[in-house]
């Protein structure tokens, strides 16, 4: 079995590298203001900074729906999901200021 070589040690005086957990956390995408969800576990947004925000679309127990149609599809008959309900979609409505 071939294993990759170990990483090179950091240069003396170099800034510490981000841990894999720090680099994996991404900010949630901008989703349509008509998109809603209910998850079986978790909260609406995460305060732990662990990327657990519902807008990430990573929950295996979430049900998403569109407030315009009150169904799992948007007005364009496409799936209501954070990965789909974003800018560029004809029915997309940005957050109100």
- The pLDDT of residue 1: 58
24 sits in which H/E element: helix 20-24
Look at residue 11 and tell me whether its pLDDT is greater than 60. yes
Q: Is the pLDDT of residue 80 over 90?
A: yes
* Region label for 19, one of left (φ > 0), alpha (ψ between -120 and 50) or beta (otherwise): beta
The proportion of the chain whose per-residue pLDDT surpasses 90, expressed as a percent, equals 38
Identify which has the larger pLDDT, 26 or 48.
26
Pick the more confident residue, 18 or 29.
Answer: 29
- At 40-66, the pLDDT tens digits run 665 555 555 555 777 888 877 889 999
Residue 83: which of 70, 61, 64 has the closest Cα?
64
Contact between 58 and 75 (Cβ < 8 Å): no
Maximum Cα–Cα distance across the chain: 59
0.85 exceeded by pTM: no
What would the mean pLDDT of 25-32 be, rounded to a whole number? Answer: 82
């Amino acid at each position: 079995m071939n294993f990759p070589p170990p990483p090179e040690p950091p240069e003396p005086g170099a800034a510490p590298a981000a841990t894999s957990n720090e680099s994996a956390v991404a900010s949630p995408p901008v989703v349509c203001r008509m998109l809603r969800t209910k998850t079986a576990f978790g909260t609406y947004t995460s305060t732990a900074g662990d990327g657990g925000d519902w807008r990430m679309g990573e929950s295996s127990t979430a049900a998403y729906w569109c407030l315009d149609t009150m169904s799992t599809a948007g007005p364009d008959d496409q799936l209501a999901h954070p990965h789909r309900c974003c800018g560029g979609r004809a029915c997309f409505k940005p957050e109100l200021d």
